[in-house]
Chains A and B, each alone.
Chain A
Amino acid sequence: EAQVTQNPRYLITVTGKKLTVTCSQNMNHEYMSWYRQDPGLGLRQIYYSMNVEVTDKGDVPEGYKVSRKEKRNFPLILESPSPNQTSLYFCASSPRGTGPYNEQFFGPGTRLTVL
């Protein structure tokens, strides 16, 4: 089944404790992206990757890191989480071939709480 998976689905942590949220897709997509969803703000793009070893900042990259060493994986790293990073996080992927018109395939989401 074609899908985007995220782990963990739920995470409660404390301020300053490094964490990684994994994202993996099995559709051989070039483009992958991370979003955070907050009430009343919709989804905001954190980072995106056009292909392996190619990443760039979205609208809200502060406090986050990403890497793209393999095509299928795009982990989101919080080196020193803070309470304002409490949010619902979505990973998404799409093929690059036809530019901006491609459908984004979303993972199920990771609900992160930073105490």
Chain B
Amino acid sequence: AQSVTQLDSHVSVSEGTPVLLRCNYSSSYSPSLFWYVQHPNKGLQLLLKYTSAATLVKGINGFEAEFKKSETSFHLTKPSAHMSDAAEYFCVVTRLSGSARQLTFGSGTQLTVLP
């Protein structure tokens, strides 16, 4: 079985300060991990993905995440928050079941950016 835990349901930061959104996972297999962002009343958009090629993954809009196997973590960071980063963020792990693929989503972290 696999699971994803997003450790904070809400995070507030001031514009221009760093962002840290935390994600821990458990998986019986070598995981594929993703971060998606959902802006209000919108669908989900891929921020970045980890596929075992490199442990530090860079995504769109200045976000990056580091895969740490020893800590089973995949935290999302950004050096300087922008007002447009305010959204909900989901950590996702993919599992393989035979030839099938299923995704497990975390419960989400709502990011608020204060002026």
The interface of chain A, by Cβ under 8 A from chain B, is: 4, 31, 33, 35, 40-45, 48, 50, 56, 58-59, 90, 92, 99-101, 103-104, 106-109
Contact = CB atoms under 8 A, between A and B. Distances in A.
Interface in B29-88: 32, 34, 36, 41-46, 49, 51
A41 B106 CA distance: 7
Contacts of B95: 100
B107 to A, nearest CB: 4
B28 interface: no
A42 B43 contact: no
Interface of B: 4, 6, 9, 32, 34, 36, 41-46, 49, 51, 90, 94-96, 99-108
SS class of chain B's interface: helix, strand, loop or mixed?
A: strand
A40 B103 CA distance: 17
A99 B96 contact: yes
A42 B108 contact: yes
Contacts of B32: 100-101
A22 to B, nearest CB: 15
28 contacts: A35-B105, A40-B9, A40-B108, A41-B107, A42-B4, A42-B107, A42-B108, A43-B44, A43-B103, A44-B105, A45-B103, A45-B104, A50-B99, A50-B100, A56-B100, A59-B102, A90-B44, A100-B32, A100-B95, A100-B96, A101-B32, A101-B49, A101-B94, A103-B46, A104-B44, A107-B43, A108-B42, A109-B42
